[in-house]
Amino acid sequence: PSGSYLAEGAVIISTLSSFHTRNVPHNAHQWIHNFLFKKFGALLIQPLIGQYKKGEYSDALILKTNILAAKIFNSNKVFSIPFFSYPRYAGYREAALHAIVRKNYGCTHFWVGRDHAGFKNFYGYKQSQNFCYKNEKKLNIKIIAGVEPFYCSNCNKMKNTKCLNKNCLQKDIIKISGSQIRKLLQKNKLIPEFLMNPRISRLLSKKSLIN
């Protein structure tokens, strides 16, 4: 049940944050991983398995790379296990479902993205976050409605707040998405380090994508 104490070996976990994904982790994802781990002390990275959509990654690769992202922490308080389901692209309704699933896994906190479970521009801006936060008590899990991280090329750093450096311009802000990385793979181009950790990107190629 939600809020219970979970044991992993001799480690007792009283708060467990959770991150839903259906992608290979890029640097924006890993920024969120770090944020959740530092704030709550334990993290479940849970990739959705069962999508089979042309142009996206295979289940095996999604599993492998998210396990690697968890191992990078070198902590027995960071886990990655699969969530066997499929994407419904149902926006805020599906975000609420994902929150309930993580509550049933024993998680106490759940990160909801700006366009969680969205489809193109069909749903409103932050609709998933607003709906889940409004219904937090009914969902029985704390909702983290985070700001989307970005890379500042002038600071050479991932951020999720406005740059305080006066020399940083709008053109220096680079948004990171899974789709832009898949486009690079489709063109057989290398993935820059500011987009993805080399330990993960070296596992990817054009063959990683479902035909």
Residue 19 has pLDDT above 60, yes or no: yes
What DSSP string describes the chain? Answer: -TT--EEETTEEES--EEEEESS---HHHHHHHHHHHHHHS-EEEEEEE----TTSB-HHHHHHHHHHHHHTT--TTEEE--EE------THHHHHHHHHHHHHTT-SEEE--TTTT--TT-SPTTHHHHHHHHTHHHHTSEEE-PPPPEEETTTTEEESS----TT--GGGEE---HHHHHHHHHTTPPPPTTTS-HHHHTT--GGGB--
User: Mean of the pLDDT values across residues 144-156?
Assistant: 91
Mean pLDDT of 76-88: 94
Query: Is the pLDDT reported for residue 149 higher than 80?
Result: yes
pLDDT of the residue at 9: 53
State the amino acid at position 137 in one-letter form: K
pLDDT at 7: 47
Q: Is the pTM of this model over 0.75?
A: yes
Mean pLDDT of the region 132-161: 93
Mean pLDDT of 83-91: 92
Confidence of residue 3 (pLDDT cuts 50, 70, 90): very low
Q: pLDDT class for 100, splitting at 50, 70, 90? A: very high
